[in-house]
Amino acid sequence: MHPRRVTRQIHVGTVAVGGDAPVSVQSMTTTKTADVDGTLTQVYALAGAGADIVRITCNDVEAAQGLAEIVPRSPVPIVADIHFQHRLALAALEAGVQGLRLNPGNIRKEEHIKTVAREAGERGVPIRVGVNGGSLDRDLEAKHGGATPAALVESAKTEIRYLEEVGFTDIKISVKHSNVPTMVESYRLLSATVDYPLHLGVTEAGPLPGGLIKSVAGIATLLNEGIGDTIRFSLTADPVEEAKAGRQLLEYLGLRERKGLDLIACPSCGRAEVDVIDVARRAQEALEAENLPIQVAVMGCVVNGPGEAGSADIGIAAGRNKGHLFIKGQVVRVVPEDEMVEALLEEARRLVDEGVEARLAAADVGAAEIAAADRAQLIEIKGDANRAAERRRRVAGVAEDS
């Protein structure tokens, strides 16, 4: 992974974006903003799933009035999403929002943009210049022959110039597109020409699983290049899934400390002693409900399971009607097959409460020996799928002949 690109730092309420701040996660509510209680319920769910910032539409006067009640009760900063009517941006500022998103594709009058910028500047509220390939200014689209990276970046830079002309620099930028390669190239081009923090996203990514794959492809590519300061998955799904996916991506990339479950599992094979898919599903449901910040492995057999998943905090592997429960690759308990998930959950709780060393010290006497015997017997019955001994002999033979 490349070092993070150095950007200016802004603050959306209490959340720092850019500079040396952690990459933040954003999502957007899908409720009617005038429904204050319904919207707040979703905001709290998004915050609980890992969203640092939540965007809410402000598309009419009733929505702006709803924001006036939502903002003081929200657990995270609120950004008002503004399209077409600049006066709704002014109303959202009066409602107390901590950020604005303006779309240059549909708020085009320079004097309107500058009016909003002056008011936002007086209140210390940042603005995201939110360029979108699907709503690009038609003149720019005609000039560049479509919503190309150059067209998206020109749109953003034109808007930035309007803001800067009134002394407003509390800016972050997005140049989203539904086509992943176009989105990636747009952000690369933009990052080479400005030092404002960048908000990453593949717009209109669609439903699961395709929308998730497209979002990861675009966002992860840029993050690995050191580009990006805040992210949003735009999925046709419950927005809680957006927040969870964004948070998990940052954790998997090592850009945020793990706060949730990371479950790994083997893909299963003919050696598997249990239905790995079912066990993994039940384990994930049980562990996610506990919100345990650990890496858990579910392996279908004991032949290679504990070794292959030895870096996991905790795991379980199936073998001869038993479950071999291991911590950091060391078997600590052997339980009946039908108790595997329950035992895994119980030991995971203790691991989080007591720590690795304490749980290793509390390993059942003889558990490792039982596991070793089961492994040896399973290899004898089913053979070694990797043919390790044979392969080692052949490799040695080639080396000796040379």
Count of residues for the chain?
402
Quickly count: other Cβ atoms within 10 Å of residue 174's Cβ: 25
Rounded Cα distance between 158 and 359, Å, is: 59
Q: Which residue has the higher pLDDT, 23 or 305?
A: 23
Q: Which residue intervals of the chain bear CATH 3.30.413.10?
A: 262-382
Q: Which residue has the higher pLDDT, 291 or 246?
A: 246
Rounded Cα distance between 99 and 303, Å, is: 54
pLDDT at 311 over 90: no
State both tokens at 325: 């429960």
Rounded Cα distance between 57 and 59, Å, is: 6
Lowest mean pLDDT among 56-70, 225-239, 363-377, 387-401: 387-401
Output the pLDDT for position 340: 92
Confidence category of residue 26, pLDDT binned at 50, 70, 90: very high
Q: In what helix (H) or strand (E) does residue 323 lie, and over which residues does it extend?
A: strand 322-327
**Contact predicate 301/286, CB 8 Å:** no
Rounded Cα distance between 217 and 230, Å, is: 16
- Specify the CATH number of the domain 262-382: 3.30.413.10
Average pLDDT, stretch 351-378?
89
Rounded Cα distance between 160 and 350, Å, is: 53
* Buried b or exposed e, range 284-311, using 16+ CB within 10 angstroms: bebbeeeebebbbbbbbbbbbbbebbee
Rounded Cα distance between 53 and 21, Å, is: 14
What architecture is the 9-252 domain classified under in CATH?
Alpha-Beta Barrel (3.20)
pLDDT at 143 over 80: yes
From the number of C-beta atoms within 10 Å of its C-beta (0-12, 13-18, 19+), residue 246 rates as buried
Output the pLDDT for position 304: 66
From the number of C-beta atoms within 10 Å of its C-beta (0-12, 13-18, 19+), residue 254 rates as exposed
State both tokens at 380: 């004898």
Lowest mean pLDDT among 113-117, 276-280, 342-346: 276-280
Average pLDDT, the chain: 92
Q: Which residue intervals of the chain bear CATH 3.20.20.20?
A: 9-252
pLDDT at 375 over 80: no
Bridge partners, residue 55, by sequence? 28, 79
Output the pLDDT for position 216: 98
The values of phi and psi at residue 327, to 5°, are -125, 120
Contacts of 148 (CB under 8 A, 6+ apart): 182
Give per-residue pLDDT as tens, 66-125: 999 999 999 999 999 999 999 999 999 999 999 999 999 888 899 999 999 999 999 999
Confidence category of residue 273, pLDDT binned at 50, 70, 90: low
Alpha-carbon distances, residue 327 vs 105, 203, 282, 352, 360 (angstroms) = 54, 41, 19, 12, 7
Quickly count: other Cβ atoms within 10 Å of residue 146's Cβ: 13
SS3 call for 172? strand
Contacts of 242 (CB under 8 A, 6+ apart): 27, 28, 46, 51, 232, 233, 234, 235
Quickly count: other Cβ atoms within 10 Å of residue 78's Cβ: 25
Confidence category of residue 271, pLDDT binned at 50, 70, 90: low
Confidence category of residue 164, pLDDT binned at 50, 70, 90: very high
> Helices 239-252 and 210-224, interaxial angle, to 10°?
40
pLDDT at 16 over 70: yes
Contacts of 358 (CB under 8 A, 6+ apart): none
Output the pLDDT for position 390: 75
pLDDT at 241 over 90: yes
Confidence category of residue 400, pLDDT binned at 50, 70, 90: confident
Output the pLDDT for position 105: 87
Average pLDDT, stretch 233-261?
93
Rounded Cα distance between 21 and 133, Å, is: 28
Confidence category of residue 168, pLDDT binned at 50, 70, 90: very high
Output the pLDDT for position 259: 81
C-alpha Rg value of the chain to the nearest Å: 26
% of the chain beyond a pLDDT of 90? 75
Lowest mean pLDDT among 46-55, 64-73, 368-377: 368-377
pLDDT at 301 over 70: yes
SS3 call for 242? helix
